[in-house]
Amino acid sequence: MKEIYLNKTDPNFKFEVANKLGGESLKACFACGACTGACPVKGVNGEFDPRKIIRMILLGLKEEVLSSNLIWYCLLCNTCSFVCPQDVKFSEVMGVLREMAVNDGHVSPSLLNTMKDVDKFFLDLRQKALFKLLEGKDKPIEVDIKEFVKSLL
Ligand code: SF4
Ligand code: SF4
């Protein structure tokens, strides 16, 4: 378990996030964990936990949140918002955190655009894979994923 030192927290952090466009829904979170249970990233990376990130913001752990690689793992897929009983828009909160991380010098400004390019590349790749698989949809489909991806590039 990790200790939290109150003198190292920033009580204004949650207000800074909530006052930015997209960040306001954060205040409604009551920590039910439905987002974490539904998140596809949590399924492959146990460290990533949207509920925990929201608690960290509310606790004022500004430096820890903004300097963490975790805020870049989110796919912005909105699955968490669909299951959230409080209508928290976590992917919008994530957008606010990323902008703040850039503005506070935790990452290079070019990372935002590069990540957008990476996401677009993989979306295009998924689309190509889907078209190819659907060509043979009436037959059993077994592919070596690595070779299949190579054939699409
Ligand atoms: S599902 Fe909504 S209310 Fe529940 S922990 Fe996640 S953000 Fe908070
Ligand atoms: S938007 Fe991010 S946190 Fe929410 S379910 Fe998708 S990957 Fe997980």
Domain check: are 40 and 85 in the same one?
yes
pLDDT of residue 108: 94
Return the axis-axis angle of helices 110-135 and 90-103, rounded to nearest 10°.
140
Under 8 Å between Cβ of 50 and 90: yes
- Which residue out of 36, 86, 93, 94 has the highest number of ligand 1 atoms within 8 Å of its CB and is therefore the one to mutate? 86
Q: Check pocket membership of 37 for ligand 2, CB cut-off 6 A.
A: no
Is the CB of 34 within 6 Å of ligand 1?
yes
The structure's pTM equals 0.86
Long-range CB contacts (within 8 A, 24+) of 102-110:
104/66, 106/66, 106/67, 107/72
Instruction: Verify that 151 and 85 share a domain, yes or no.
Output: no
72: which residues sit within 8 A by CB, 6+ positions away?
98, 107, 111, 115
116 and 102 assigned to the same domain? no
- Across the range 120-146, mean pLDDT stands at 87
Q: Which of 85, 37, 33 is nearest to 55 (CA)?
A: 33
For atom 5 of ligand 2, the residue with the nearest CA is 39
Same domain for 39 and 20: yes
Q: What is the mean pLDDT of residues 31-39?
A: 96
Shared domain check, 67 and 35: yes
Query: Same domain for 114 and 139?
Result: yes
Q: What is the pLDDT of residues 109-118, one digit of tens each?
A: 999 889 989 9
Number of structural domains (the chain) is: 2
- 19 and 93 belong to one structural domain: yes
Q: Element (H or E) spanning 98, and its range?
A: helix 90-103
Q: Ligand 2: does its nearest atom lie under 6 Å from the Cβ of 53?
A: no
Q: Is 145 exposed, middle or buried (0-12, 13-18, 19+ CB in 10 A)?
A: exposed
Question: Which residues form the domain of 125?
Answer: 109-153
Kindly report, residue by residue over 66-108, the tens digit of the pLDDT.
999 999 999 999 999 999 999 999 999 999 999 999 999 999 9
